[in-house]
Amino acid sequence: MRPFETLHSTRTPDGSRLSLHHRDGEYFIHLDGEELMSTRRTGSESALALFACQNLADRKNPRVLIGGLGLGYTLRAALEVLPTQAEVVVAEIYPSVVEWNREHLEPLHRQALDDKRVTIQNANVWELLRDIQTFDAILLDVDNGPSAWCLSSNSRLYDRQGLQKIRASLKPGGVLAVWSADADAAFVKLLAKSGFSARTESVRDHDRKGAHHTIFLARKRPAKT
């Protein structure tokens, strides 16, 4: 097997090293030398979008927020099921990741970044949630799970206050979908306490092979009167 070819690297606000690598036709993003994602295993990233957006195809002008561009597979899968009048906002905190997608990965995603439905925001999800806007679905793939953060500041997305902020940014019946490397029963309970009807889906990271990943699916419940 050939060694990794390092194509680019950058530093995160926490001082960690985020890097893009290539080997044998595949691309990999590493965080401090550990594989964060790759084009070899993309099944669960695509499933995140399908579970969150599959009921929006017939909705008028649906709005979707995707936290984290990554290698673009969640965005591509969302665009495949959303209608032509949809709006998709992608919050990507690292400009380098957007550049990497355009320079190295765009042929894989059939011009997804230039799709007229897509707006790329150089911001973290929290910044967008502070704005007064609502979405039919919010997808989070910015960490390895609700308690395994790539940035320490992301912890606020998964506590009760953060979940209530997310809930306020969802339209009635809107869906929050969260990607995680592992199951987390405590997080399911917290979602329920924060005004969601929650469940999980276990999916493989590559077709029907590879590791099991967890997708948390939380639908906004009506406020109690």
Helix extents (H) in 1-145? 43-53, 73-81, 95-100, 125-130
Confidence label for 108 from pLDDT (cuts 50, 70 and 90): low
Cα distance between residue 162 and residue 153, in whole Å: 11
**Contact call for residues 70 and 37 (beta carbons, < 8 A):** yes
End-to-end CA distance of the chain: 62
Q: Which residue has the higher pLDDT, 163 or 34?
A: 163
Domain spanning 41-220: which CATH class is it, in words? alpha beta
pLDDT over 70 at 159, yes or no? yes
How does pLDDT run across 38-87, given as a tens digit for each residue? 988 889 999 999 999 999 988 989 999 999 999 999 999 999 999 999 99
- In the chain, where the domains are located: 41-220
pTM summary value: 0.93
Sign of CA dihedral 195, 200, 206, 207: negative
Paired residues of 8 in beta bridges: 20
Helix extents (H) in the chain? 43-53, 73-81, 95-100, 125-130, 160-168, 185-193
Closest CA to 12 of 68, 60, 66, 50: 68
pLDDT over 80 at 106, yes or no? no
